[in-house]
């Protein structure tokens, strides 16, 4: 839907580009009215429930699920790409001192830029396909290491070095919490992170593709995606969902809190989605995982979810509002021992795989993204008034 400016023909599009097809992709799709999304030809929820994070990563990056030999080779390649260069490691304490746990994504942007400079990552425009794939693996593999290291430094701890005998998710959880997770928590976080790898042309993914279309380097495209993810309307909601549960406090306060929030026009964090008109399939999966672990927090979250929906049906008939991925993602991450400051960074540690896959696809296309705008300001041209500056 590119506009030809030669004849000033403009195409009206909705605010936010809602339902506008901006590009074609082979990576996956979100079918909001069905409550379904997929990575290539496979259900994303099936992959998250039954396969490892690395298998889904291989699928998006290479185009197929790996066999045992391919998976072992891929894991080895990931392990080799996780090392933090000494010069970058020396910078991390200063970066953590600037950002702390207040803005971990800003810290990650700085650290990734340093890695890109150290590695001399070149513009996508100048690279071969193999070089682009190597960059994608490098940036994705080192992201959780940088995030965990910056978090440890912000807390006054020495960062833990990566362990090659653990998988991507298990080792990330170990580096963040300081202990090797049990199988139940590893599976829970793996399911969440695998389900979070990709989700259509969301704001951060689209930002990455726009930057990639200029031929910039892959780390720059990921940096732009991280900037978009930092916005509360995109990736900043998981911890706010727990804040909601904390504010409500007890079961006997649910009705009063929800009614007051709705009447005042407030937003119930963790509910509603820009695409889904049914239950978010990620939320449904994570609710089941949380209930499998159990506990008072999980039972309370389920009670809040059900009561919010009941009250909405009564107060706003015909309006469906379901929990989105952030609601139960927050519960699951808390159960796994991840602190709230690391909720959105954990999402980034998963989504970086999807971003880099989209960057590779966009770079292969070779066409710069250059939409038009409709000017609605004062009529032009108007003669310039006399300048007050003496010449």
Tokens 């810290």 locate to: 107
Token pair, residue 314, equals: 């009564």
Residue ranges of the alpha helices (H) in 236-342?
238-248, 254-263, 281-293, 296-315, 325-335
Q: Find the catalytic residue in 54, 186, 305, 326.
A: 326
Answer yes or no: 131 catalytic: no
CA triple 343-345-349, angle to 5 deg: 120
Tokens 């991450």 locate to: 333
DSSP 12-37: ---GGGTT------SSEEEETTTTEE
Helix, coil or strand: residue 109: helix
Cα radius of gyration (the chain):
23
Neighbour order of strands in the sheet with 36-39: 28-31, 36-39, 42-43
Distance CA 223, CA 33 (A): 31
CA dihedral 267, 270, 276, 280 (to 10 degrees): -160
H or E segment at 99? helix 86-99
Q: Find the catalytic residue in 185, 187, 273, 358.
A: 273
The answer to whether 335 and 348 have CB atoms below 8 angstroms apart is no
Answer yes or no: 326 catalytic: yes
CA distances from 67 to 57, 58, 60, 138, 275 (A): 13, 10, 15, 22, 34
The answer to whether 167 and 75 have CB atoms below 8 angstroms apart is yes
The answer to whether 343 and 213 have CB atoms below 8 angstroms apart is no
Which residues are annotated as catalytic?
A: 273, 326
């Amino acid at each position: 839907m590119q506009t030809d400016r030669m004849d000033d023909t403009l195409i009206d599009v909705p605010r936010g580009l809602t339902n506008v097809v901006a590009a074609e992709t082979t990576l996956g799709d979100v079918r909001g009215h069905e409550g379904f999304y997929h990575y290539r030809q496979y259900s994303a929820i099936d992959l998250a429930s039954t396969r490892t994070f690395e298998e889904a990563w291989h699928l998006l990056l290479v185009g197929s699920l790996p066999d045992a030999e391919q998976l072992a080779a891929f894991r080895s390649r990931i392990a080799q790409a996780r090392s933090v260069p000494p010069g970058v490691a020396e910078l991390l304490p200063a970066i953590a001192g600037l950002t702390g746990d207040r803005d971990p994504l800003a810290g990650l942007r700085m650290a990734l830029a340093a890695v890109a400079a150290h590695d001399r990552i070149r513009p996508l425009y100048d690279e071969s396909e193999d070089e682009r794939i190597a960059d994608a693996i490098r940036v994705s593999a080192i992201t959780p290491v940088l995030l965990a290291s910056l978090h440890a430094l912000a807390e006054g701890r020495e960062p833990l070095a990566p362990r090659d005998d653990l998988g991507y998710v298990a080792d990330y959880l170990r580096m963040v919490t300081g202990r090797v997770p049990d199988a139940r928590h590893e599976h829970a976080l793996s399911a969440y992170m695998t389900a979070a790898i990709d989700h259509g042309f969301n704001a951060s993914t689209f930002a990455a593709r726009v930057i990639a279309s200029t031929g910039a380097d892959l780390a720059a495209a990921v940096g732009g995606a991280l900037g978009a993810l930092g916005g509360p309307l995109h990736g900043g909601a998981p911890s706010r969902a727990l804040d909601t549960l904390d504010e409500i406090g007890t079961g006997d306060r649910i009705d009063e809190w929800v009614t007051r929030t709705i009447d005042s026009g407030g937003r119930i964090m963790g509910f509603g989605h820009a695409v889904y008109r049914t239950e978010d399939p990620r939320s449904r999966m994570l609710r089941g995982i949380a209930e499998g672990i159990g506990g008072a927090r999980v039972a309370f979250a389920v009670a809040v979810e059900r009561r919010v929906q009941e009250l909405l049906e009564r107060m706003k008939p015909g309006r469906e509002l379901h929990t989105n991925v952030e609601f139960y993602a927050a519960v699951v991450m808390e159960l796994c021992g991840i602190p709230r400051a690391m909720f959105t960074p954990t999402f980034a540690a998963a989504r970086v795989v999807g971003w880099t896959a989209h960057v590779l696809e966009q770079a292969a296309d070779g066409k710069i993204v250059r939409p038009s705008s409709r000017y609605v300001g004062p009529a032009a041209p108007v003669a310039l008034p006399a300048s007050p500056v003496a010449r």
